[in-house]
Amino acid sequence: MSRTVFVSTALLTLLVAACEQPPPEPEQTKPAAQPTATSVALPTATATLAEPTASAKPPEPPQPKGLPAPEDVAAPPKDAKKTASGLFTKVLTPGKGKDKPKLEDRVKVHYTGWTKDGKMFDSSVARNEPATFGVGGVIKGWTEALQLMVAGEKRRLWIPAELAYGENAGMGAPSGQLTFDVELLEILPTPKPWPVPKDVKAAPKDAKTLPSGLVYKQLIKGKGAKKPSATDRVTVHYTGWTPDGKEFDSSVKRGEPTSFPLNRVIKGWTEGVQLMVEGERMRFWIPSALAYGDKPTRPGAPAGPLVFDVELISISGGAP
């Protein structure tokens, strides 16, 4: 299985895909809904404006070695427990403590997933790389099962198609009933979100306006003098709102920064982030022409002018 996240569709994916500018080369970007994370258990939300566009294709990593399917992969045994939704689970290893994840929590897990015929389609265990994601950002079967578990516990899940990707899943996701072994390694504290700006409706008088129409204001001073170029890759934390104060995406709330080539996002981001140095936080009032437009063509992308708080964490080399 390649490093593709099936169980999850984080907000990051929509932002980057929705924000992307068509690159000059003929290569077409992948649909925004295509998961791009490394684990089946990652979130499955729309996507984030700040994430990299799918057009930047990193080298395909080695395929993880397949792990043998359990004998009961095709159907749950008699001692498995069924929930009202149709999910079956069975505790394989008891955990410690009494705390269970809440819908708004983030968790760190190890997992392996198989189709009903015993074919492994993804595994953090095979990659030796635990997955971290929001409980509410994954497929329904995962969201329900995780809230039944405690840290250290390992469960087997038999997830019906309607709680997974459906009978005829697209975008490379597995179809039909799926079976997972999931170990809950840790329940992570819920990140503190950035508040809705008081000036979200309109930029204040001390904000600066560029010829393009982009408006910005420094919130936190950064360090150093180096600023990214349009071809650099950057790592940021951000939150985005519509002018009425509705939050539509946030890496802060997800608890993990996002990285992307600066020339693969919406024009307002490409222009604005080039003004920043590492450690700096800015607020951008982005007109619709520099965002997704008044009538976005990408499903789930926010329409009209947008407001972002962006913190530039680091600048790396040129985008691949």
Instruction: Write out pLDDT tens, residues 71-86.
Output: 999 999 999 999 999 9
- The number of distinct structural domains making up the chain is 2
**CA proximity to 55, closest of 262, 228, 248:** 262
Q: Side chain identity at 267, as an amino acid letter? A: K
- Model-wide pTM > 0.85: no
Exposed / middle / buried, residue 61 (Cβ in 10 Å: 0-12, 13-18, 19+): exposed
Domain boundary among 188, 216, 240: 188
pLDDT band of 36, cuts 50, 70, 90: very low
For residue 167, what are the domain limits? 64-188
| Average pLDDT value over all residues in the chain | 83
Phi-psi region of 70 (alpha: psi -120 to 50; beta: other; left: phi over 0): beta
pLDDT surpasses 50 at 43: no
Q: Is residue 17 part of a domain?
A: no
Q: CATH code at 296?
A: 3.10.50.40
In a domain, 213, yes or no: yes
Same domain (yes/no): 129, 175:
yes
As a whole number of angstroms, the distance between CA 252 and CA 311 comes to 10
- In a domain, residue 2? The reply is no
Q: List, in sequence order, every residue forming a beta bridge with 182; answer none if it has no partner.
A: 111, 155
**177 and 214 share a domain?**
no
Residue 79 maps to a domain: yes
Together in a domain, 224 and 304: yes
- Residue that finishes a domain, picked among 119, 154, 188: 188
In a domain, 117, yes or no: yes
Q: Are residues 290 and 180 in the same domain?
A: no
Question: Is 105 among the domain residues?
Answer: yes
